[in-house]
Chains A and B, each alone.
Chain A
Amino acid sequence: MSNKKLKIGWFSFSCCEDSTIIFVEMMNDHYFKWKDLVEFRHVRVLKANNLLSDIDVAFVEGAIANDNDEKQLKEIRAVSKKLVAIGACAVKGNPSSQRNEFSEEKKKRIEPYMIRWGLNQKVKTLKDCVQVDDFVDGCPMAEEVFSNVLNKYLKEFGVV
């Protein structure tokens, strides 16, 4: 085994962060293996000192609801060699994008909030905004699919 580690980032936008919880729960079984293979370069849920640079794989949870989030997503994309959409909101938009399908009456009711907080008319998926290399769907994400994607990149980046 090489000493090289896969430099990962874990980010979230509009969502309930269920996949973040699943990721942290998967560590119950996998942490002592992952710690030798993975550098947790930007994982705000686990650490304060994070680096937004030179990321091999960015795992991104959540949908994009405003321009600022889209700008941040593009910044993540620019410093990451690969970007993986994590969970239903990131992959399909839902349930964060349920307001896209609201009736006119409901849309009118939420309009003051949309204006006050600068929310875009439509909630977008990640691939509506940036190039996405892989998708781990599910609400929360499917653990096995995430493991497969992680293992794929561990091989692709020459870590294992």
Chain B
Amino acid sequence: MHSIDIDLSIDHFSKIEGHGALDLKVRNNKVEYVNFKITENKRFYTTAIEGKSYMAGPALMSRICGTCSIAHLLCCIEAIENALEFEPSEQVKILRKLTMYGLMIRDHALHLYFFSLPDVLNKDSVLDLDENNPKENELVHEAFEVKASGNNLSKLIAGKAVHAPFPMVGGYTKIPEKEKLKASLEELKHVRPKILNVIKLFADWDKTLVRETTFVAQVNHDFSFLGGHIHTTKDTCILPKDYTDHLLRTVIPYSTSTGVKFEEGNYFVGALARLNLNKEALHQNTSKDAKKYIDMFPSKNVYHNNLAQAIELLHCVDHAIELLEKTEFVPEKLNIPKPKKSSGIGVIEAPRGTLYYRIDMDDTGTITGADIIVPTQQNQINIENDIKTFVEGNLELEKGQIALEIEKIIRAYDPCMSCATHFLKINWL
């Protein structure tokens, strides 16, 4: 092959959450650098939370991100409750699972139908789907219906899909209304077969990009995204409280977000990691009806993050249906734990991967320090390495096509730039 040089810049990624850009330089068939740049402005949330009350902290932190708002809210609550050695009631635990499922259904549906589906169908946008084409018309309707079912579940359980008011340290300020529960249950049952369609669509997408990496996820017995231990494909098992012994922040000079390494190496967090490490814990109805697709995991194909999210969609709907059918919600007073000087860790699986919170407070409950590691931070180095592998294997493509394919890889990760740039950690000077 003749010698190929490429200089490529993408100024703004589209169909992702937030702002990012990329520079690529290839000389003599080798990638000299690929700079995946998060360009969001820092908003210094971990500094802003200092001095706030432990009861006000989670609502503030939920403002880090519009789309993952509920993940930040629940992870911050978990860190504070762990600090105070507080055990929430069984009903609160169920409400939190349902809160996570509402988030996951809405957020995964947004990513799958609105960001990644156009890549599968070779369209610019879901808005370009042809309403006179019965298959495409059906897909647009499905996209809005599935997304709405998550949005409505969040509104019912948490009060709102974005910056939810009901979940608090100690419990919920309101329990769901019976009549509305029925409506949500029916809506989830209605969208379930449509999700099987989208699973097939992403399973049939003939795209492969495989590279050796480590997959990391917090896993538990019911795939509820809350609680459990951190597992890896290196057969490591870590207690959430020990995460700092394994994660290493890394300065990325061209990105407003620091990167993170796992035991000195790049790694992948998100739905693909969760399916690779914990598919046995999926809901029984999901395991039965999506078996053929679940059997495709473990997988190292980065595009299978889309498929993994689609399978998680079905799991969230199935487990939410079960919880809504089985649970008789009763009025319950908010049980606010008393503050004490303490420090706590919260770790949950957010839509895009593992989210870590550490909250420190004094004996009055005033927050004195906070540290956060978000999924997109953790995936930054892996994204760059995947793009390098792709480019070196596809140098014959014309530049515009390379740019398009790079964006598809990035979208498969479902990055969230707003999340990635919230904090202050000065260690690069």
Contacts and interface: CB of A to CB of B under 8 A. Distances in A.
Contact of B48 (A13, A21, A28, A95): A95
Contacts of B144: 27-28, 31
Identify the interface centre among A17, A69, A96: most chain B CB within 10 Å of its CB: A17
A28 B147 contact: yes
B60 interface: yes
Interface in A31-74: 31, 35, 40, 44-50, 65-66, 69
A49 B14 CA distance: 9
Interface string B1-12: 000000000001
B162 A40 contact: no
Interface string B126-170: 111000000000001000110110010000000001110000000
A117 B60 contact: no
Interface stretch (A1-9, A108-116, A125-133, A151-159): A108-116
B63 interface: yes
B407 interface: yes
A46 B15 contact: yes
B126 A19 contact: no
Nearest to B141: A32
B129 to A, nearest CB: 11
Contacts, number: 125
Nearest to A27: B144
A40 B60 CA distance: 32
A18 B256 contact: no
A17 B17 contact: yes
Contacts of A119: 41-42
Given A99-B48, A113-B42, A113-B426, A17 B418 contact: yes
Given A25-B151, A27-B144, A40-B127, A16 B63 contact: yes
Interface string A71-101: 0000000000000000000000001101100
A149 interface: no
Given A17-B18, A31-B144, A66-B41, A46 B66 contact: no
Nearest to A115: B429
A109 B145 CA distance: 46
Given A19-B66, A29-B148, A45-B15, A99 B43 contact: yes
Given A18-B163, A48-B14, A106 B50 contact: yes
B391 interface: no
B67 interface: yes
A47 B407 CA distance: 12
Interface string B302-339: 00000000000000000000000000000000000000
A28 B124 contact: no
A99 B145 CA distance: 39
Nearest to A96: B43
B86 interface: no
Contacts of A117: 41-42, 256
A80 to B, nearest CB: 18
B64 interface: yes
A139 B124 contact: no
Contact of B125 (A13, A48, A65, A69): A48
A119 to B, nearest CB: 6
Contacts of B426: 109, 112-113
B44 A98 contact: yes
Given A14-B41, A24-B110, A95-B60, A109 B163 contact: no
Highest count of chain A CB atoms <10 Å: which of B17, B47, B126: B47
Contact of B161 (A25, A69, A95): A25
B424 interface: yes
Contact of B163 (A31, A47, A65, A140): A140
Interface in B47-69: 47-48, 50, 60, 63-67, 69
A122 to B, nearest CB: 13
B63 A112 contact: no
A18 B162 contact: yes
Given A15-B418, A21-B162, A45-B16, 9 more contacts: A16-B69, A24-B147, A28-B148, A44-B12, A50-B14, A95-B60, A109-B424, A139-B63, A140-B163
Interface of B: 12, 14-19, 40-44, 47-48, 50, 60, 63-67, 69, 106, 110, 114, 124-128, 140, 144-145, 147-148, 151, 161-163, 256, 407, 418, 424, 426, 429
14 contacts: A17-B65, A22-B162, A24-B147, A27-B144, A44-B12, A44-B15, A45-B14, A46-B126, A98-B43, A99-B44, A99-B47, A102-B47, A113-B424, A140-B66
Interface of A: 12-22, 24-25, 27-29, 31, 35, 40, 44-50, 65-66, 69, 95-96, 98-99, 102, 106, 109-110, 112-113, 117, 119, 139-140
